[in-house]
Each structure stands twice: as C-alpha cells, then as structure tokens.
Structure 1
Amino acid sequence: MKKESEGIVIETTEDFARVKASRHGDCKNCGACPGDNATVLDAKNPIGAKAGEHVILEMREQNMIRAAFVVYIMPIISIFLGVLVGTWIFNAVGYYEMVFKVAGGIVFFAISLVYIKVFDKATAKNDASKPVIKKVL
C-alpha cells in the first residue's frame, strides 16, 4: 500500500527534488520528529517538477513500517537480548549477576544504535526507498 502526501519543491537536481512535505495523519499522532508540521526529504522526480511547485508525493508504506521497526522496536529487543546474554554469562561465571545483565543490555543497545546508523545510511543511498513525485498540483 502507498501513502500520499503534499509538498512544495524546494530545489531540483537531475532526477531528484528536495521537497518540503506536510506530515500525514500518522506522523501528527507520533510527534517523534522535531520542528513544525513539515519535513524536508529527497524524492524521485520523474515528472520534472520545478522549484516552488506544489506536488503529490507517493511513499511505500512498507518502507515506513520497516524504518519504524528498526528505530523503535529493534533497540528494545536488543536490550532484552543483552540482558539474556548477561544472565547466561552470569550463570557461567557465578557472580555479579546485576552487573552482567546491565552491561549486556547496554552493549546490545549500543550495537542496535550502530545498526540504526548503518540502516539510515543504506536507506538514504537506496533509490527504491525514496518517495516519488506523482503529479504537480
């Protein structure tokens, strides 16, 4: 399924445009992004929209769900896995149970943050994950 959003083209390059897009209803309820009700993003520009034009963007919902999972759910899962690994190490060593649990949670959380950064860079380079300008209003 695809979500549509309105935006204004700020600048263009060969096949892409920077668009100041208004948030859709799901984003307004989340509030995780700082700032006003708009976000600037890079979008594919197959129709050749020019700077200053109002456009309709189309984004794949699958990309938004995957990003939300990686940013919000994966760190929580990583913390629990770290605590489990800490417990396993405690069982092997036999002392300092809480230290191993806390350290395991912190280490796995840090690893998840590194993965989020790698995921962010890979997604930014992947043209298939970018929104597409569908029409000029």
Structure 2
Amino acid sequence: MRREETGIVIETSENKAKVKASRHGDCENCGVCPGDNAMVVDVQNPIDAKIGQRVAFEIQEVNMLLAAFVVYIMPLLAIFAGAISGGMLGNNLGQNVLACQIGGGIFFFAIAVVYMKRYDRAVKKNDKLLPVITKIVN
C-alpha cells in the first residue's frame, strides 16, 4: 500500500532529490521531525524534477511501519528482554537481581541503539526503500 504526499524540491543530485513536504495528519502529535510545518525527505527522482518544482511522491506504508517499529517498539522490547535476562542471570549467579535487571536493560538497549544506527545507514543506502517522485504538480 502506498500513500501520496506533495512537496517542493529543494535540492537535486543524480537520481535523488530532497523534498520539503508539509506534515500530514499522522505527524500532528509526533514531534520527531524538525520544524513546525515541514520536513525534508530524501526521495528517488526518476522524472528529473528540478529545484523549486512542486512534486507528488509515494511512500510505501510498509517501510513507514517497519521504521516506526525499529525506532519506537524495538528499544522498549530490548529493555524488557534485557531486564528479564539480567534478572535470570542475577538469580542464577546469586547476585543482586535488581542490579542485574538494570544492567541487562541498559546493555540490551545499547544493542538496540547500535542496530537502529545500522538500520538507518542501510535504509539510506538502499534506493528501493526511498519514496519515489511520481509527477510534477502545478
């Protein structure tokens, strides 16, 4: 499933572009993107749109859901799994269970952050995951 957004091209390079897009209804309460009314999106530019043109681009919903999971849900699951693992380890070793739970949660969270960084780099390198400019809107 794809969702179409519109924005203005602010930079181009080879077959990619940066598009300044208005926030949509899903963004009202998020606050992750910088700025009050707009966000800058890296997109594929197969139609060779020029700087200053208003364009429509499609975003795959699956990519957005996966990114939201990696950024918001996975770190929480990692902390939870780390706390459980740390508690079990502390109990088996006869150590302070609470301290081991806290340490396990921090350790697993750090692993999740490293994974998020690698995921972010992989997404930026993979053009298939980028939104695609579909048409120039006038």
TM-score when scaled to structure 2? 0.95
| Partners of 1:116 and 1:37 in 2: CA distance | 26
- What amino acid is the match of 1:63? N
- What amino acid is the match of 2:59? M
Give the match's secondary structure for 1:66: helix
Give the match's secondary structure for 1:124: helix
- Deviation of 1:119 after TM superposition, in Å, equals 0.5
User: What's 1:39 paired with?
Assistant: 39
User: What's 2:65 paired with?
Assistant: 65
- What amino acid is the match of 2:134? K
| Partners of 2:16 and 2:73 in 1: CA distance | 31
- Deviation of 1:87 after TM superposition, in Å, equals 1.2
CA root-mean-square deviation: 1.0
User: What's 2:96 paired with?
Assistant: 96
- Deviation of 1:92 after TM superposition, in Å, equals 1.3
- What amino acid is the match of 1:9? V
| Partners of 1:38 and 1:16 in 2: CA distance | 19
Q: Deviations over 1:18-42 (max 9, x none)?
A: 1111122111232222322211121
TM-score when scaled to structure 1? 0.95
Structure 2 unaligned segments of length 5 or more: list them: none
Number of aligned residue pairs: 137
1:82 and 2:82 are equivalent in the alignment? yes
1:11 and 2:11 are equivalent in the alignment? yes
User: What's 2:130 paired with?
Assistant: 130
| Partners of 1:55 and 1:17 in 2: CA distance | 11
Structure 1 unaligned segments of length 5 or more: list them: none
- Deviation of 1:74 after TM superposition, in Å, equals 0.2
Q: Deviations over 1:73-123 (max 9, x none)?
A: 000000010011111111211121111000000110111011100100100
| Partners of 2:38 and 2:87 in 1: CA distance | 44
% identical equivalent positions = 55
